[in-house]
Amino acid sequence: MKWQIIEVKPTRDYKLILTFKDGDKRIFNFSPMLEYKINKPLRNINLFMKAKVHHNTVMWNEDLDLCPEYLYENSEKI
């Protein structure tokens, strides 16, 4: 599947640089998502910077993760 994430690099301006299994590199702007209550903990930049790949998607902990399809469809190719 083209939306399997193999690498994530968070940036200090709340963006995620994503590498997908097919080699596609994309950038996702997380800033607008900070308005959602569920994502409030990620306003802490130290937590946001701990983004990691787990089961082909991005997660921070058991409560905070993102669907890989959403990340793919809402990111820009770089």
Could you tell me the CATH number of the domain that includes residue 27? Answer: 3.30.2020.10
| 22: its two tokens | 């097919």
Q: What is the domain extent for residue 54?
A: 5-77
| 38: its two tokens | 């569920």
Phi and psi dihedrals of 68, rounded to 5?
-65, -35
pLDDT in tens, 13-60: 999 999 999 999 999 999 999 999 999 999 999 999 999 999 999 999
Single-letter amino acid, residue 18:
L
pLDDT at 39: 95
pLDDT at 1: 65
pLDDT at 62: 86
Domains in the chain, number: 1
- Please state the pTM of the whole predicted model: 0.93
pLDDT at 3: 85
How far is Cα 3 from Cα 21, in angstroms, rounded to an integer?
7
